[in-house]
Homo-oligomer: A and B are copies of this chain.
Amino acid sequence: MKLIIAIVHDEDVHHLIDDLTKDKFMVTKLATTGGFLKAGNTTLLIGVEDDKVDRVIEIIKNNCETRNQMVTSPTPISGAAGVFIPYPIEVKVGGATIFVVDIEKHLKL
């Protein structure tokens, strides 16, 4: 058996857990903070049979891969004197760090 430790962005957690449980994978969610980013990360522990590791990594990729997103700048830049114009900027969202570790036992009490 393998333990997959996946650190993913908060915004991707909901759909990732949806997809993992749809495929009957057991997921345990830990609290995580994201370091320097305001938006936090979440750590998931997933215990799987050896031959399911690639399937889990595929599901994580589908939900968490880094992509660009247009957001409206939260701090509008001043144009002419006294005029604030909100404008769209492109930011990277998503991303994941994955560790695969061999486990000797996996118990559910």
Min CB distance, A44 to chain B, in Å?
10
A69 at the interface (CB under 8 A from B): no
Complex contact A109–B30 (CB within 8 A): no
The A interface, classified by DSSP as helix, strand, loop or mixed, is strand
Total interface residues in chain A, CB < 8 Å = 42
Let me know if B99 and A103 touch, CB within 8 A.
yes
Provide the A91-109 mask, 1 if CB < 8 A to any CB of B, else 0. Answer: 0001111111111111111
- Which residues of chain B are within 8 angstroms of A60 by Cβ–Cβ distance? 109
Q: Report A's interface with B, CB cutoff 8 A.
A: 2-3, 5, 7, 17, 26-35, 41, 43, 45, 47, 53, 57, 60-61, 64-66, 94-109
